[in-house]
């Protein structure tokens, strides 16, 4: 089978490998769609934590279920996606129903080879039924589940002001599921085109450009002087994360979905006097995947709106570099096999 391997930062090579064989407890998927996410882009740049090369990228995936062992209720030939965080099932996190932060987690396309290939073997227990969704919709379930998990971690209450920083696909998902949870959503980004997308396509009521000189005042005006009671970072940018501590209302929760390599720095008295809560949000759980699929089927989310670029698998090597350039307006690139 043909695979696309990120051999070193900035370098892709198409390499032919043996098609995976069915082994006990696993399933073989014929890959149909691959969504390109920030993790893939950062890995290509060489800025992704927890990463080593060479690596086959890709974890936003959908395909046709060809073979399986130990997957009751599934049928050969059905459309599927899967939970790409392979957990040990034994550690304290797994025993506490938090397999998303397993101490020995193997994320598909990060710690182990992913789905930029014609076929992929995955643990059968990670399979998710397609529920009649298209391959493109199924490939978008995982990134939306990341946002949905962050929103669930925030325990949002109806009519809370929720500030989501970063209007990429993960941030868009957080905005969508904050809205579904009943929040009044504010989008913050440095890119006016993305802010326009938030307002026009997913109906975010408030948008603020992070480069404006009066961001704090705009947030005060929107929230009636209170500031947001939930702030969600979906940038993974150190400056954005550190800067966001000033946006917290007293008693607020700050949820970090985005990931970066450095130390976070903030003023302790300012954080302390607010009795604020700092929360990390890693990956997602089956509950989040099921919530996303149910929301799609109910028409509450239209994820294919995010797809701005499509390319056949044979064209990924040539196109990938261009997706890093903000001028090209990429929100979500989708690879077709």
The phi-psi region of residue 278 (left if phi > 0; otherwise alpha if psi is between -120 and 50; otherwise beta) is beta
- Return the SS3 of 172: helix
- The CA distance from 313 to 4, in Å, is 9
* Segment among 7-11, 91-95, 137-141 with least mean pLDDT: 7-11
Query: What DSSP line would sit under 280-299, residue for residue?
Result: E--S--HHHHHHHHHHHHTT
> pLDDT band at 303, cuts 50/70/90?
confident
The pLDDT > 70 percentage for the chain reads 100
Each residue's pLDDT tens digit, 14-56: 999 999 999 999 999 999 999 998 889 888 988 777 688 999 9
Each residue's pLDDT tens digit, 88-134: 999 999 999 999 999 999 999 999 999 999 999 999 999 999 999 99
Output the pLDDT for position 175: 98
CATH of region 2-139+302-336 = 3.90.180.10
CATH of 147-280, one of 3.40.440.10, 3.40.50.720, 1.10.8.60, 3.90.180.10: 3.40.50.720
Query: What DSSP line would sit under 207-266, residue for residue?
Result: EEETTSTTHHHHHHHHTTTS--SEEEE-S--HHHHHHHGGGPPTT-EEEE-S--SS----
Each residue's pLDDT tens digit, 201-255: 999 999 999 999 999 999 999 999 999 999 999 999 999 999 999 999 999 999 9
User: Could you tell me if 128 and 91 are in contact, meaning their C-beta atoms sit under 8 angstroms apart?
Assistant: no
Output the pLDDT for position 260: 85
The sign of the torsion formed by the CA atoms of 315, 331, 80, 103 equals positive
> pLDDT band at 178, cuts 50/70/90?
very high
pTM of the complete model: 0.94
Output the pLDDT for position 39: 85
- The CA distance from 241 to 233, in Å, is 7
Domain boundaries along the sequence of the chain: 2-139+302-336, 147-280
Each residue's pLDDT tens digit, 189-213: 999 999 999 999 999 999 999 999 9
Output the pLDDT for position 51: 80
Output the pLDDT for position 306: 92
Output the pLDDT for position 237: 93
Output the pLDDT for position 266: 95
- Which residues, at least 6 apart from 298, have a Cβ–Cβ distance to it below 8 Å? none
Supply the mean pLDDT for the chain: 96
* Residue 67 dihedral angles phi and psi, to the nearest 5°: -145, 155
């Amino acid at each position: 089978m043909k695979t696309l391997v990120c051999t070193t930062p900035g370098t892709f090579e198409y390499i032919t490998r043996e098609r995976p064989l069915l082994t006990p407890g696993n399933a073989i998927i014929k890959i149909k769609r691959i969504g390109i996410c920030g993790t893939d882009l950062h890995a290509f740049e060489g800025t992704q934590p927890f990463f080593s090369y060479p690596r086959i990228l890709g974890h936003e995936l959908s395909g046709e279920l060809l073979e399986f062992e130990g997957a009751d209720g599934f049928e050969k030939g059905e459309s599927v996606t899967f939970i790409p965080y392979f957990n040990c099932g034994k550690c304290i996190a797994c025993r506490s129903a938090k397999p998303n932060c397993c101490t020995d987690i193997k994320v598909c396309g990060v710690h182990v080879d992913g789905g930029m290939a014609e076929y992929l073997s995955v643990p059968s227990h990670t399979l998710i039924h397609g529920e009649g969704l298209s391959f493109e919709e199924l490939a978008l379930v995982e990134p939306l589940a990341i946002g949905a998990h962050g929103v669930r971690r925030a325990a949002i209450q109806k009519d809370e002001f929720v500030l989501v920083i970063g209007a990429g696909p993960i941030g868009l998902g957080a905005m969508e599921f904050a809205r579904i949870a009943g929040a009044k959503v504010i989008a913050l980004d440095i890119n006016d085109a993305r802010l326009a997308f938030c307002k026009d396509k997913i109906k975010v009521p408030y948008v603020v450009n992070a480069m404006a000189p009066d961001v704090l005042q705009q947030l005060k005006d929107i929230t009636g002087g209170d500031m947001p009671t939930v702030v969600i970072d979906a940038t993974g940018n150190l400056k954005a994360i550190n800067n966001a501590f000033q946006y917290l209302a007293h008693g607020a929760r700050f949820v970090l979905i985005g990931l970066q390599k450095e130390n976070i720095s903030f003023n302790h008295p300012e954080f302390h006097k607010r009795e604020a809560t700092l929360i990390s949000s890693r990956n997602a759980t089956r509950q989040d995947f099921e919530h996303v699929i149910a929301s799609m089927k109910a028409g509450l989310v239209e994820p294919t709106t995010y797809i701005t670029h499509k390319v056949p698998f044979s064209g990924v090597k040539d196109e990938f570099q261009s997706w890093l350039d903000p001028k090209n307006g990429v929100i979500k690139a989708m690879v077709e096999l």
